[in-house]
Amino acid sequence: MIKTIRGFMKRLNEDHVGAYAAQSAYFILLSFIPFVLLVVTLVKYTPLTRDDVYSVLINMLPTEFQSYVGGIVNEIFYQSVAYMPITIITTLWSAGKGIAALTNGLNSIYHVTETRNYIINRLRGMAYTLIFAAAFLTSLVLLVFGTRIQNKLTEHLPMVARVTSSIMGMRTLITTGVLAVLFLVLYKCIPNRKASFKSQCPGALISSLAWSIFSLAFSMYLDIALAASNMYGSLTMIVFIMIWMYFCMWILLIGAEINAYFEDKLRKLQNAAIEHFMENKETNKEAGK
């Protein structure tokens, strides 16, 4: 057991998991800015008004972010419709950078080199960014800010208190299931290698559980820290989100490392068993002669 743990830790260092986690977290956080811009732009073509969007965002954001976000909403709502296609394309292209960083990390962990077409990779990155952003927002809303959202809803809409309590009671199970499926798809499809979904299940399950547990623990810490700490001033929320995102990316890459490490171990055991079987077969043939 100790030897296995040491071997796993050595491989983590050799594959630079910490560095790729930081890189992925940085670019994914940057990707969320264009993603939010895209969502707000699309809202213009729904029955929602600027005041509807603004009121929702204001209720969800810290006080120090309200004027800044309000300015962004106003600017996007009054943007010319002619720029809509350009906005969508440039936003998705920029957001794909986060998945590109994650692809580099997974390729390093699985010890493969990237040989796929650059344009195709960026297009794939656009699609994966939307999927990942949806799962990220689900995790962020339900786990990290879930308690605050429930309190806000209960305060303004008492009649939905029972429903929100039931949903929040199952939020860990729901989020863990969503994350497990997402990680399974990421481990299977993003690296430049062929693998079965079954072979990626261990890392996906472990990572989804670890992500959920860490986010719940971080949520408890966040409720205390935001009330008691003024270390970073108006940047406090950004700093906490950056820390949370880094460790979540680290957990995600750890899951891939678990799959890769034990795949190699299993492959070596299978090869050794085959060699042993062939040697015994040859020995029995010679004895029969």
- The CA distances from residue 115 to 98, 103, 109, in Å, are 19, 12, 16
pLDDT of amino acid 6? 83
Alpha carbon distance 274, 59 (integer Å): 63
Q: How many domains does the chain divide into?
A: 1
Query: Is residue 54 exposed (0-12), middle (13-18) or buried (19+ Cβ within 10 Å)?
Result: middle
Query: Is residue 11 exposed (0-12), middle (13-18) or buried (19+ Cβ within 10 Å)?
Result: middle
pLDDT of amino acid 253? 92
pTM of the model: 0.68
Query: How long is the chain?
Result: 289
Digitized pLDDT (tens) for each residue of the chain, 289 residues in all: 787 778 888 888 888 888 888 888 888 777 766 666 666 666 666 565 667 666 655 555 545 455 666 776 677 666 655 555 666 676 667 667 777 888 888 998 888 888 888 888 877 877 776 676 666 556 555 555 566 666 666 666 666 666 666 666 666 677 678 788 888 888 988 888 888 888 888 889 999 899 888 887 887 777 676 665 566 555 676 777 788 889 989 999 999 999 888 877 666 666 666 666 666 666 666 666 5
Q: Which domain holds residue 191?
A: 2-288
pLDDT of amino acid 270? 60
pLDDT of amino acid 252? 92
Alpha carbon distance 61, 230 (integer Å): 17
Q: Are 130 and 31 in contact (CB under 8 A)?
A: no
